[in-house]
Amino acid sequence: MIKEESKIALIYTGGTIGMVKSEKTGALRAFNFDLLLKKIPELQLLEHQIETYTFDTPIDSSNIGIDDYVRIAAQIEEIYDEYDAFVVLHGSDTMSYTASVLSFMFENLSKPIILTGSQLPIGDLRTDAKENLITSIQLAGFKKDGKPVIREVGLYFEYKLYRGNRTTKLNTDHFQAFSSINYPFLAESAVNLEVNFSALKKINLKQDLIVHKQLNPNILVIKMFPALQKETFEHLLATPNLEAVVLETFGSGNSKTDLWFLNALEKSIEKGIQVVNVTQCKGGSVVMGKYETSQALKEMGVINGKDITTESALGKLMYLLPKKLQSKVLKTVFETSLRGEMSSN
């Protein structure tokens, strides 16, 4: 890869990477971002020009909500033309949700937006923060023929760059906290930084960036479990203002065939609630109609989530619902890969 200088915006939203232990309670809390840069003098050795932006009040990612998604997107949109790449420091707990929704919010993205964080705070002797931050910046800064190599929303953690909307946080203890089972990694940090070019998103450079900042949060995840009760299910589906449900089904998209279950679901779909079938397995795909236990879902018009993650399905719904598409159109659009978030078959 040719070394060229890039101008990179580092946006700090919060998370362990910039946290310190409270002397009083021992609990981790966010601290001043300027100190974060002091803790990593190595950043000055990179060939890139780095400028920083920070949330007024850095937050634990468990507190992130749709206003924060819009805040991050608006910040990047505002400075989009000034920089070659964006690295967003974010707590790992909900990083996959943010990476997923941002991928939908940025249509025709032609620069990298890489989210990263760490499992141990930057001040910890054994911290993973330095490698994650430095390599994220290096990958974000990669250019070929004067153009950024990565032109999508990525998530970098523990030696791997993933497509953000394919990731899930799988481990609270290991440095390798994320996985992307249904899609190969985009780059790997070993002795050399290896980019997996065939996995990168192809883009049409002629199309202008559109940033979609309207999100609809009237959605719900319902995870199937064998002892699910009629009253509970009906109660959840009767949630006021509910517009869409991500139904985490068993195996390749299977659910109960009890009449109370199917009737409640069908009634909701008739009312205009969108229901997406996503498998609760970590890898593989929904195949509606493969078993009798998914045939009824297919017939009543449940959307096939294929191999999308729950995080990505939520992001896609929040992005699509404000478009006010007819149910059938929304189903077709949802079942189409928009940002490489699902396989096409």
Residue nearest to ligand ASP (CB): 91
Core vs surface per residue 224-237: b (16+ CB within 10 A) or e: beeeeeeeebeebb
Among 72, 84, 91, 109, binds ligand ASP (CB under 6 A): 91
Choose between 26 and 240: whose C-beta lies nearer to ligand ASP: 26
Q: To the nearest whole angstrom, how small is the minimum distance from the Cβ of residue 58 to ligand ASP? A: 9
Strands 7-12 and 303-304 turn out to be unpaired
- Residue 4 lies near ligand ASP (rule: CB under 6 A): no
**Strand blocks (E) in the chain:** 7-12, 19-21, 28-30, 49-54, 85-89, 106-107, 113-116, 143-144, 147-148, 153-157, 160-163, 168-169, 178-179, 187-189, 193-195, 210-211, 219-223, 244-249, 274-279, 303-304
CB of 217 to ligand ASP, least distance (A): 19
Complex with ligand ASP: residue 37 or 237, whichever CB lies closer = 37
Q: How far is CA 238 from CA 16, 231, 271, 273, 298, in A?
A: 37, 10, 11, 10, 22
Residue ranges in 109-128 that form contacts with ligand ASP under rule CB under 6 A: 117, 119
84 lies in the binding site for ligand ASP (CB under 6 A): no
Least Å distance, CB 60 to ligand ASP, is: 4
Residue 67 · residue 59 · CB < 8 Å = no
In the bound complex, what is the minimum distance in angstroms from residue 129's beta carbon to ligand ASP? 10
Q: Total number of residues binding ligand ASP (CB under 6 A)?
A: 11
Q: Which is nearer to ligand ASP, 119 or 294 (CB)?
A: 119
Q: Which of 10, 15, 250, 313 binds ligand ASP (CB under 6 A)?
A: 15
What CA–CA distance (Å, rounded) separates 92 from 168? 10
- Joined together, the tokens standing for residue 142 give 């990669």
Nearer to ligand ASP, 92 or 103 (CB): 92
Residue 340 engages ligand ASP in binding (rule: CB under 6 A): no
Write out the two tokens for 26.
């021992």
Report the residue number, 132 or 268, with the smaller CB distance to ligand ASP: 132
Q: Which span sits near ligand ASP by CB under 6 A: 9-17, 150-158, 289-297, 319-327? A: 9-17
Distance CA 115, CA 95 (A): 7
Q: Does 132 bind ligand ASP (CB under 6 A)?
A: no
State the pairing for strand pair 219-223/244-249: parallel
- CA 236 – CA 250 distance, rounded (Å): 19
Query: How far apart are the C-alpha atoms of 245 and 295, rounded to whole Å?
Result: 18
Among 74-82, 91-99, 245-253, 329-337, the segment contacting ligand ASP (CB under 6 A): 91-99
What minimum distance in Å lies between the beta carbon of 90 and ligand ASP? 7
Task: Pick the closer one to ligand ASP by CB: 91 or 305.
Answer: 91
- In angstroms, the CA 229 to CA 242 distance is 20
The set of catalytic residues is 16
* Minimum CB–partner distance for residue 180 and ligand ASP (Å): 17
Which residues, 45 to 74, sit near ligand ASP by CB under 6 A? 60-62
Residue 98 CA to residue 46 CA, distance in Å, equals 27
For residue 111, give every residue at least 6 positions away whose Cβ sits within 8 Å of its Cβ, in sequence order, or none: 80, 83, 84, 85, 86, 148, 151
Which of 6, 16, 136, 285 forms a contact with ligand ASP (CB under 6 A)? Answer: 16
Residues near ligand ASP, by CB under 6 A: 14-16, 60-62, 91-93, 117, 119
